[in-house]
Structure 1
Amino acid sequence: MHQNVANRAPSQSQVTPTFRDPAGSLSFEADRVVRSIHPAARQSTLEFLESEFCHQAQQRGDLVAACIDDAPGGLRLIHPRIPVPTYPWEWTPSQWLAAAELTLALCEEALSHGWILKDATPLNILFVGHRPVFVDILSFEQHDPHASIWLAYGQYMRTFLLPLLMNRELSWPLALSLFKRDGYEPAELYQAMSWPQRLSRSVFWPITLPAWLERGKKAEATSSNPTIGHKDDSELAAHLLHRTLADLRRRTLRAMPRNSGSAWAEYQQTLTHYTAEQAASKREWVRAALLKHKPARVLDIGANTGEYSALATENGAEVIALERDAAAAERLFCMSRARSLPIQTIHADLARPTPAVGWENAESSALIPRLAGQCDLVLMLAVIHHLILMEQIPIPAIVDLAHRLAARHWLVEWVPVADPMYQSLMRGRVSLYGALAESDLHTACDGLFTLLCRQTLDNGRVLLFFEKSTQ
């Protein structure tokens, strides 16, 4: 929804305003996002905001809300700030698909109201929980009813379809989109394909044919869009556009990777270091802690397939779920979406977090600053020993990061040296890690956290609930 708001002096922006969009720029001010509209785009922006399509999309939550600040200094749109924004390189395949489907659906709906998307990139989408939201209002423009070409077609192919297809065909991580702001070019992908792949149904049309045409110096004229350039018949033009969007939707679905598993995606079903009774005891203790302290937002680090993320939502919390295993993160997102739970999945590795990227490292922020202080409670269940043994992160460094991330509390599971999983991950490095004890964790917490409660489970693992020190 949008409305006029009183003019007020903006607070100091926290990051450099965006500069790529010729119609406006974006800056961040405390708990809001301010979009400054350039004078040439003022009238068209206001017309779009007053359109029935915009109202309906905002009411559904598919399009970001916007308050109009029409001050003497220029038109500004005030958007609510999403606490923890994520980028496409931190999404699972099903998140990519959800973002693609929303993009195509909004474009198709906009056409029936006289509007169209002039660009189509995953960077136009942010997730609120499991739900994608289109956040770039300036991506819409008035549609010429006689035009049958979707100008954003090529960009959609490069930034949505081809990354998904390469993830399916060659297992290229979707995280590689970090280095490909405008997506993949068919010619470069063609070189990576075998001949059977090049001639396969899913690859031939989006990769092989454009690569051949480019070799023949015909790409610019023939590969940008399969439809005809301009039609006098507006009904035919609309039909061609709708057919193009429907075809892209089908091809995007076919580009989704085949279902795959991993040891960590099956972790909850195959774990042997917990009996059913011990797992239930752990779950009930965590449930009681959540019920007592009632965090509004929880950061679940090493969330796996989301058992404890879902548990946190039962007590009214929103959850940011961080998981580095691709298959586990995919299942986590699909679970949260199927059950309509307020869980936002981030596929990323805490030990190798997403860096800041873009011009002067200021266009897309790093993961840790986005997470810091945003959640009342940080969960690290069955995580800390992985950081110590697999990533060689010292305990004081882990505690220091937990202190930066948590706004109020930290719930951590300590795994003792005698634990079978600890022994397996230690890999004989007894001289380095064989003497670590829970007391080392408490020493590192001195001055940063205060222990509120502690529970030893029957298998020797220890659950500790800390409160962040104010000094």
Structure 2
Amino acid sequence: MSSPPLSAPETGARAEPGSFRDPGNRIFHLDGQVLRGLDRRATEDWHALAASDFFPPLLAAGKVCGTEPVDRDTLTIPDDSRWDTVLRHERIPFVSHPYEWSFGMLRDAALLHLEILTTALGAGFSTKDGSAYNLQWRGATPVFIDVGSFEPARDGEPWPGYRQFCQTMLYPLMMQAHLGLDFQPWLRSRIDGVEPGQMRRLFGGTRRFSAGVFKHVHLHDAMQARHADASTGTVREELRDAGFSRDLVLTGVRAVEKLVRRLDWQPPASHWQQYRRTCAYSEADRERKARFVDVALAGTAPRLVLDLGANDGDYSRLAARHAAYVVAVESDPAVAEQLYRRLRADGERRILPLVLDLADPSPGGGWGGVERASFADRADADAVLALAVIHHLAIGRNVPLTGVVDWLVGFLATAGRRGRLVAEFVHPEDPMARRLLANKPAGTFPDYRREEFERLLAGRCEITAREELPSGTRTLYVGVPRG
């Protein structure tokens, strides 16, 4: 697992909470560095990997995260005596989880994993794992991060990561491609992904004949049931006796890759896809708003900008002119998918689109609730854009206005005076606010007023800029955190 978002230097090596399942290697964070400790066996695998013909080209192409050995004697990391070798990895600008990705992101991540596996198998290597968590993103470009997963392939053995790949990548893609179900809630609810038995119940009747389902769901589930009481060693012996070979593994992986390429999902029509056309902005509003955001970020050189409610990503692109990295958060999977496709087509490497419900952001998950860090714990930002989103939280989702302000400013906790909150308050008389209020009982939101928002913001930030848009029903603010 790679590093959390860019943050202040640490004073001592800290073990990554999400890196414990493979006892042969573990990730640590030390003074901004991402380190991996390898035990004796993992060290042998690393030396074989580094000397191979296939691995250096993957590094050079950026398909595997940058990795180099470091002088073992210059570092002190936890369980020091266990690690024969220490590697240093490049930092991933923002760590995301598969349940925060759009369909296209998950598919492209799966295809990269399969491409790397196919290349490795051809050179006599395999990967121990097939988890979607083994991949991260540089903007709209996936990158494989689990260097410790590579090992020499053994004759007569299937790909060890097949089940993980199915549960965390192939099955979620099938659910959305074949059934139109958003996969994100399924992956978020269970860190190990969707079980074959669950899929089998979803794909009964004629659905079992959807592309790839019978083989990778029904037969897979039946094989698991058949071998439920058999040891791994026994299964391997049966496969070897049956003539199972490395060539068959490679053929199977290529067939899975072909299947993944066939899986497709076209985003359905969405209110938010038409938001630019249907919202109450005039052209003068848009121009004034873009200029305000540009001036607010100019000269601040933020490491990380959060664009909350990014929609078509126009303000994310504007922020990227000034920032090292931008995370564009959108709650509608269809809108996020369209944004990802545009960013990918442009080769954008500094804007990461994510699917996230702002009123229900990703919590901590997995073992101890910390194996997968919450969005709040990862989102250590220098600037936050909250444009045309506050009314949706306060009115649409009934979040108290004071809670919205505290939440937004909270992302800037470590930024201090260099932080910037660029917020848009939509007045109650604005057409969009009136549309939301029409669905609520009269008098439900007595505190939703511009004066109250300003009071709350001023209590947490110094308001350094304020501008009313020409429409007269929306006001923009720049807040610099106090403290």
Task: Answer whether TM exceeds 0.5 for this pair.
Answer: yes
The count of residues paired between Structure 1 and Structure 2 equals 451
- Contact 2:309 2:386 (8 Å CA) reproduced: yes
1:400 and 2:406 equivalent?
Answer: yes
* 3-state DSSP of counterpart to 1:411: strand
316 and 361 in structure 1: CA distance in 2 versus 1, 3 angstrom threshold: closer
Which residue does 2:457 correspond to in 1?
Answer: 445
Q: Aligned partners of 1:370 and 1:215: how far apart in 2?
A: 39
**What corresponds to 1:458 in structure 2?**
470
- In the alignment, the residues of structure 1 paired with residue 209 and residue 279 of structure 2 have an alpha-carbon distance, to the nearest angstrom, of 46
Matched, 1:167 2:179: no
Cross-structure match for 1:289: 296
Amino acid at match of 1:394: P
Identity percentage of aligned residues:
27
How far does residue 405 in structure 1 lie from its aligned partner after superposition? 0.8
Q: Does 1:362 align with 2:370?
A: yes
Q: Report if the CA contact (8 A) 2:16-2:27 is conserved.
A: no
Segment of structure 1 superposing worse, 330-339 or 422-431: 422-431
Taking a change above 3 Å as real, the CA distance of residues 261 and 82 of structure 1, as seen in their structure-2 partners, is same
Distance 1:439 1:133 in 2: 46
Residue 26 (structure 1) aligned with residue 27 (structure 2): yes
Contact 1:302–1:381 (8 Å) recurs in 2? yes
Q: 1:31 to 1:175 in 2, by over 3 A?
A: farther
Deviations 1:269-317 (A, max 9, x none): x324112332233223323333354434311001112121122224454
Separation in structure 1 between the aligned mates of residue 388 and residue 430 of structure 2, nearest angstrom: 11
Superposed counterparts of 1:86-165, under 5 Å: 86-144=96-154, 146-147=155-156, 149-165=158-174
Separation in 2 of the partners of 1:237 and 1:219? 24
Aligned to 2:386: 380
Distance change in 2, residues 1:410/1:271 (3 Å): same
Amino acid at match of 1:445: L
Measured in 2, the distance between the counterparts of 1:219 and 1:157 equals 21
Letter in 1 for 2:146: D
- CA separation in 2, counterparts of 1:468 and 1:142? 52
Question: TM-score, normalized by length of structure 1?
Answer: 0.87
2:432 aligns with one of 421, 435, 442: 421
Looking at structure 2, the residues matched to 163 and 369 of structure 1 have their Cα atoms a distance apart, in angstroms, of 26
- CA 1:232–1:349: 2 relative to 1, 3 Å: closer
The correspondence for 1:253, drawn from 256, 261, 269, is 261
2: CA distance, partners of 1:276 / 1:10 = 50
Which one-letter code corresponds to 1:350 in the other structure? L
Q: How far, CA to CA, are the matches of 1:430 and 1:17 in structure 2?
A: 47
Deviation at 1:232, TM superposition (A): 12
In the TM superposition, 1:138-287 aligns within 5 A as 138-144=148-154, 146-147=155-156, 149-170=158-179, 171-211=181-221, 229-230=239-240, 239-268=247-276, 270-287=277-294
Give the Å deviation of 1:352.
Answer: 0.9
Asked whether the 8 Å contact 1:326–1:347 carries over to 2, the reply is: yes
Task: Decide whether aligned partners of structure 1 residues 452 and 25 sit closer, same or farther in structure 2, where only a CA change above 3 A counts.
Answer: same
Could you tell me which amino acid in structure 2 is paired with residue 390 of structure 1? Answer: G
Q: Distance in 2 between matches of 1:64 and 1:120?
A: 16
| Distance across 2 between alignment mates of 1:20 and 1:366 | 19
Unaligned 5+ segments in structure 2 are 1-9, 74-80
State the alpha-carbon separation in 2 of the partners of residues 59 and 216 from structure 1.
Answer: 43
What is the alpha-carbon root mean square deviation over aligned residues? 2.9
Could you tell me which amino acid in structure 2 is paired with residue 362 of structure 1? V
Q: Tell me which amino acid in the other structure corresponds to 1:391.
A: R
Partner of 2:396: 390
Tell whether the 8 Å contact from 1:149 to 1:230 is kept in structure 2 after alignment: no
Whether the 8 Å contact between 2:363 and 2:375 is mirrored in structure 1 is yes
Q: Is the 8 A contact 1:88 1:175 kept in 2?
A: no
Distance 2:12 2:228 in 1: 51
What is the match of residue 299 of structure 1?
A: 306
Q: Is the 8 A contact 1:301 1:323 kept in 2?
A: yes
Alignment-mate amino acid for residue 421 of structure 2 = W
Aligned residue for 1:3?
none
> CA shift at 1:37, angstroms?
1.2
* Greater RCO structure (CA 8 Å; 6+ sep): 2
Provide closer, same or farther for how the CA distance between residues 322 and 14 of structure 1 changes in structure 2, counting only shifts above 3 A. Answer: farther
Q: Paired residue for 1:349, among 352, 357, 360?
A: 357
Q: Rate the CA distance shift 1:458–1:208 in 2: closer, same or farther, 3 A.
A: same
AA of the residue aligned to 1:153: Y
Deviations 1:40-88 (A, max 9, x none): 3222223323434332222222112223234254322222332421111
C-alpha distance in structure 2 between counterparts of 1:138 and 1:167, whole Å: 31
Deviation per CA, 1:111-134: give whole Å up to 9, x if none: 333322222110111112112111
Asked if structure 2 preserves the Cα contact closer than 8 Å seen for 1:199 and 1:208, the reply is no
Secondary structure (helix, strand or coil) at the match of 1:431 reads: coil
Q: Indicate the residue corresponding to 1:41 in structure 2.
A: 42
Give the Cα separation in 1 of the matches to 2:110 and 2:184. 14
Confirm or deny: 8 A CA contact 1:111 1:143 kept in the other structure. yes
Q: Deviations over 1:397-418 (max 9, x none)?
A: 2222222212310101110111
Q: Is the CA contact 2:186–2:193 (under 8 Å) kept in the aligned structure 1?
A: no
- Which residue matches 1:6? none
Deviation at 1:388, TM superposition (A): 0.6
1:212 and 1:14 mapped to 2: Cα distance?
A: 39
CA pair 43-204 structure 1, distance change in 2 beyond 3 A: closer
Match of 2:5 in 1: none
The 10-residue stretch of structure 1 (131-140 or 67-76) with the greater mean CA deviation from structure 2 = 67-76
Q: Tell me the amino acid that sits aligned with residue 463 of structure 1.
A: L
Aligned residue type for 2:27: L
Maintained 8 Å contact 2:303/2:323: yes
